[in-house]
Amino acid sequence: MEEKKLDPYQLIGFVLIALIMTWMLMRQQEQNLNNQAEDKLENKSLIESENQLLNQNSKQTNKESVDLENFAFESKKEEKFYELKNNLIKIFISNRGGQITKANLINFENYLEEPLNLVDNNQTTNLVFKLKDGRQINTSKLNFEINKNKSKNGILTMRAYFNQEKWIEFQYSLSPDSYLLDYSITSSNLQSFVDASEINKLEWSLKSFRNSRSVEYENRYTELTYGYENGKVNELSISGNDEEKVDEIQWISYKQHFFNSILIPHKKISNVFLKSENLVQSEDKKEKYTKFYSSVIPLKGGGDFDFKFQWYFGPSQYSTLSNYNIGIEKSVNYGWGIFGWINKYIFIPLFNFISSFMPFGISIIIMTIIVRLAMSPVTYRSYVSQVKMKILRPEIEEINKKFSKDAVKRQQETMSLYSRAGANPMSGCLPALVQLPVFYALFSFFPVAFALRQKSFLWADDLSSYDSILELPFNIPFYGDHISLFPILASVAIFIYTMMTMGQQQPPPQPGMPNMKFIMYLMPLMMLFFFNNYSSGLSLYYFVSNLLTILLMVVIKKFVVNESKILLQIEENKKKPRKVSGFSARLQKAMEQAEKQKRLNSKR
């Protein structure tokens, strides 16, 4: 059998065929790559052409149109600010969210003598609603465009477009000589894709700026208040965090002590959620904010919107707020019940009248003099009662010694002495009770008296804040890092007055009774610590008031009340038969029965 051998020509043929096949494959691959590149270029060119065509069509139809897909997730347009201004306030509104970004009160400064802004990127307003496909729209994320056809002097109209015919519109209107800003939310042709079954919500939040020297003192009068139902007013907690759901809301006030941001719906709104958070932990000069406020306001309205509000950005001054006749003046807390009534109808008009032609410090002194003179009959009766108790003191001491081991008998004899002498130990307390409404009303008046803000008197450069005469390099707990002079003067005056009254009014101490000397020292000390950070106008009032009371008591003692005549009158009263009142008779009988029972128990 013949052995097979490799033919060299066959080998050459296989090699040539392999080379040809390799060349053909490489050529085909290169052609494919070129074709793919050409396809990509053609597709890119086609896309660019389509985009150009769409943009041209969009520009031809409406330059401000926004695609529906991009409406909910906003875009990257440059932020622009638009200004509304009158002689009282400047409002800046951003195209991003159509929100107020700054509210500057032109005629006021803060404690650092800087422009006073109630809003300066610390406020958020957001309308929340849902589409039928389940997406949630937040207007704070949308871009708004100026509607030049509807915007004019004092009016700014902004729209966020779904397309040419579908849009949301915010309109702001500021009148001359007014702190009120009209705010409306409207829409056009949204019924086709807005879920009308869902409740729309307007969310409003704000971090209130610190505007006064003492942040702790300012924070005591910084609070969220609201009007509801028919003129009722309530507030959230001042000292801590608080939240509440309220029906029939008429207005919501984010009060900042002497300034106010108020939202006033056109109609009452129910199920409004309100929240307040305290941001102040201590008296720190670096603190920038006092409280964080937030509100969630449900808005009912089908597929299209038509909501109207007003905003007030301005001073928390009763006379200014009451000029608008919409009830927002009730956001200023002058005290509840009779105390607020006294302030609104007596002290506010009186102080406004006096301060219209006198410096504010002098006005406080004059008003204090008027109040003390009006209360002088009460002071007179109080002093007469103190004199009677002073005259009867030796006899009361004798009764205490005689019946030291028999408390019931001691009480019986003491009451009998008071009855025969025509004296009443409670008569010295009754004048103080009569003066209590006046005392508390003025305590509520001075800290919120806007007229005192940044008004100086003597060494106090601001009667609405503390009157520091010395800054301390350290902080004393409950006192502060400074020394105020008016509280010291007021404390000294209270101490002298307390010594004068305690010295003659109080009977000798009985077992179980509190040590009145301790109270005598405690009251001025509390005044000294408590008022060191308070309004110097309030401390000035207490100093002058107690000083006048001391002078009145000296005048009454020296020139009005004759202690000898009172002593003779007491002696004559002792001789006269005195008819015992029904209550005294029943009390006397009860004490006698208790004494009788005690004797029976001791015999057993």
pLDDT for the residue numbered 601: 64
Same domain, 319 and 210: yes
What value does the mean pLDDT take over residues 387-396? Answer: 72
Question: Are residues 369 and 292 located together in one domain of the fold?
Answer: no
Residues 319 and 435 in one domain: no
Share of the chain above pLDDT 90, in %: 27
Proportion of the chain in helix, strand, coil states, percent, rounded to 5: 45, 25, 30
Amino acid of residue 477: P
Q: Say if residue 381's pLDDT is above 80.
A: no
Q: Give the mean model confidence (pLDDT) for residues 90-114.
A: 91
pLDDT for position 252: 94
The predicted structure's pLDDT at residue 9: 43
Q: Which residue has the higher pLDDT, 543 or 477?
A: 543
**Model confidence over 210-226: pLDDT tens digits?**
888 888 888 889 999 99
Q: Specify the pTM.
A: 0.74
pLDDT recorded at residue 57: 37
Query: Which carries the bigger pLDDT value, residue 109 or residue 163?
Result: 109
pLDDT value at 69 more than 70: no
Residue 163 lies in a domain: yes
Question: Across all residues in the chain, what is the average pLDDT?
Answer: 78
Position 596 scores a pLDDT of 64
Query: Of the spans 35-49, 269-283, 392-406, which averages the highest pLDDT?
Result: 269-283
- Give the pLDDT band of residue 419 (cuts 50, 70, 90): low
Neighbours of 522 (CB within 10 A): 12
Strand partners for 242: 276
Q: Which of 415, 388, 435, 402 is nearest to 563 (CA)?
A: 388
* Pair 302, 439 in one domain: no
The answer to the question of residue 147 being in a domain is yes
Range of weakest confidence among 255-264, 519-528, 539-548: 519-528
Residue 169 lies in a domain: yes
Query: Residue 122: what pLDDT?
Result: 92
Q: Which of these, 139, 251, 255, 264, lies nearest to 206 by C-alpha position?
A: 255
58 in any annotated domain: no
Residues 259, 396 share a domain = no
Please name the residue that has the structure tokens 């007229």. 451
Higher pLDDT, 419 or 132: 132
Please give the residue that has the higher pLDDT: either 437 or 107.
107
Q: What is the pLDDT of residue 278?
A: 92
If you average pLDDT over residues 136-142, what whole number do you get?
88
Comparison of pLDDT for 193 and 420, the residue scoring more: 193
Q: Is residue 171 part of a domain?
A: yes
CA dihedral of residues 583, 587, 588, 593 (deg, nearest 10): 140
pLDDT at residue 340 is higher than 80: yes
What is the per-residue pLDDT for 251?
Answer: 95
CATH for 161: 2.70.98.90
Provide the number of structural domains found in the chain. Answer: 2
| Residue 35 pLDDT greater than 60, yes or no | no
Mean pLDDT value of segment 97-107? 93
Q: Which pLDDT value is given to residue 380?
A: 74
Q: Do 295 and 263 form a contact (C-beta atoms < 8 A)?
A: yes
CA 549 to chain centroid: 34
Residue 485 pLDDT: 92
The verdict on 359 and 295 lying in the same domain is no
Q: What is the pLDDT of residue 362?
A: 93
The pLDDT score that the predictor gives to residue 291 is 92
Of the candidate ranges 193-197, 330-334, 344-348, the one whose mean pLDDT is the lowest: 193-197
Question: Do residue 182 and residue 88 come from a single domain?
Answer: yes
Structure confidence at residue 550 as a pLDDT band (50, 70, 90): confident
Position with higher pLDDT, 263 vs 193 = 263
What is residue 10's predicted lDDT score, i.e. its pLDDT?
A: 47
Asked if the structure places residue 327 within a domain, the reply is yes
Enclosing domain of residue 348: 344-456+536-584
* pLDDT above 70: residue 203: yes
Partners of residue 188 on adjacent β-strands: 167
Q: Are residue 297 and residue 354 in the same domain, yes or no?
A: no
Cα distances (Å, whole numbers) of residue 194 to 34, 131, 137, 188, 581: 49, 4, 10, 11, 78
Do 116 and 218 share a domain, yes or no? Answer: yes
At residue 71, does pLDDT exceed 90?
A: no
Instruction: State residue 240's pLDDT score.
Output: 84
20-29, 119-128, 183-192, 522-531: which range is least confident on average? 20-29
Structure token digits, residue 544: 């002058």
Amino acid 500: pLDDT: 75
Same domain, yes or no: 299 and 349: no
Q: Could you tell me if 276 and 421 lie in one domain?
A: no
pLDDT at 72 over 50: no
In a domain, 88, yes or no: yes
Is 603 within a domain? no
Predicted local distance difference test score (pLDDT) of residue 24: 54
Would you state the structure tokens that stand for residue 218, as one six-digit string? 């300012």
Tokens of 541: 């009032």
Element (H, E) at 218: helix 215-220
C-alpha closest to that of 161 among 75, 102, 54, 48: 75
Q: How many angstroms separate the Cα of 220 from the Cα of each of 291, 448, 468, 513?
A: 11, 11, 19, 35
Rank 83-92, 458-467, 526-535, 565-574 by mean pLDDT and report only the highest: 83-92
Among 201-205, 263-267, 329-333, the range scoring the smallest mean pLDDT is: 329-333
Lowest average pLDDT, out of 121-130, 339-348, 478-487, 510-519, goes to: 510-519
Tell whether 316 and 397 lie within a shared domain: no
Per-residue confidence at 56, pLDDT binned at 50, 70, 90?
Answer: very low
554-582 average pLDDT score: 63
Residues 403-432: what's their mean pLDDT? Answer: 66
Could you give the CA distance from residue 110 to residue 96 in angstroms, rounded to a whole number?
28
For residue 136, the surrounding DSSP H or E stretch is strand 136-138
Nearest to 182 by CA among 202, 200, 157: 157
| Least confident range of 63-67, 465-469, 510-514, 516-520 | 63-67
- Percent of the chain residues past pLDDT 70, beyond the cut: 71
pLDDT at residue 294 tops 70: yes
Q: What is the mean pLDDT of residues 53-60?
A: 38
Residue 517 has pLDDT above 70, yes or no: no
Q: Pick the residue with more confidence: 49 or 327?
A: 327
